[in-house]
Amino acid sequence: MSLLAKIFGRQTDPRERFVPLWRAVVGIAREPQWYAECGVADTQEGRFDMLSTALAAVIVRMEREEGLRAQAALLTELFVEDIEGQLRQQGIGDPTLGKRVGKLMSALGGRIGAYRAGLADTGDAALTDAVTRNVTFGEGGSPACVAARLRALHRTLQQTPDDALLRAEIAR
């Protein structure tokens, strides 16, 4: 949305429709079970890993429907905006911000591809392997636990009607 449109209020930001869904994605990523039961590292890296994992699951679901496929980009824009804000709060300035965001977007894209393939496979090995490659674990962490919870989330999302998904009505 252009700066002038924001100032004069002539146009609503199309991303606004996805804010509740974005908040739900963040809530899923913050669920304590990922960290306490599965052993995901409760660090900046581990939290980013779970945020991108939860977002990937939602995007894979959105890709299923033609009407939502193109709109997944708007949800991704909210991710970028949020991550950019977090980086700025950490003191990362404009000269390096673009590179950092670019790297994080590349990581998200890779994870979406890995999880898409792992979730499409009915066995556990491909998904567990994708989790092993893409999630930071603490000592004793279990990629199989994350893979099982991710597959359960995927099933829930697959059963969630489009309109309920957009309203962030995801059974947990």
pLDDT digits (tens, 9 = 90+) for 138-148: 999 999 999 99
Instruction: Identify whether 166 is part of a domain.
Output: no
% helix, strand, coil for the chain, step of 5: 75, 0, 25
Instruction: Identify whether 111 is part of a domain.
Output: yes
Upper half-sphere CA count for residue 152 (Cβ side, 13 Å): 10
Instruction: Identify whether 95 is part of a domain.
Output: yes
Residue 125 confidence (pLDDT): 96
Which domain range does residue 39 map to? 18-160
Instruction: Identify whether 5 is part of a domain.
Output: no
Longest dimension (CA), the chain: 54
Instruction: Identify whether 91 is part of a domain.
Output: yes
pLDDT digits (tens, 9 = 90+) for 64-85: 998 898 899 999 989 888 877 7
- Asked if 161 and 13 touch (Cβ cutoff 8 Å), the reply is no
Measured at the CA of 62, the angle between CA 50 and CA 97, to 5 degrees, comes to: 50
Tokens linked to 48: 């980013």
Q: In 3D, which of 131, 130, 21, 116 has the Cα closest to residue 72?
A: 21
99/149: higher pLDDT:
149
β-strand partners of 40: 137
Round to whole Å and give the CA distance between 127 and 120: 9
Tokens linked to 16: 């606004």
Instruction: Identify whether 131 is part of a domain.
Output: yes
Round to whole Å and give the CA distance between 102 and 91: 17
pTM: 0.86
pLDDT digits (tens, 9 = 90+) for 83-110: 777 777 777 667 776 777 778 788 889 9
Number of domains the chain is built from: 1
Model confidence band, residue 4 (pLDDT cutoffs 50, 70, 90): low
Instruction: Identify whether 167 is part of a domain.
Output: no
Instruction: Identify whether 99 is part of a domain.
Output: yes
Per the document, the length of the chain is: 172
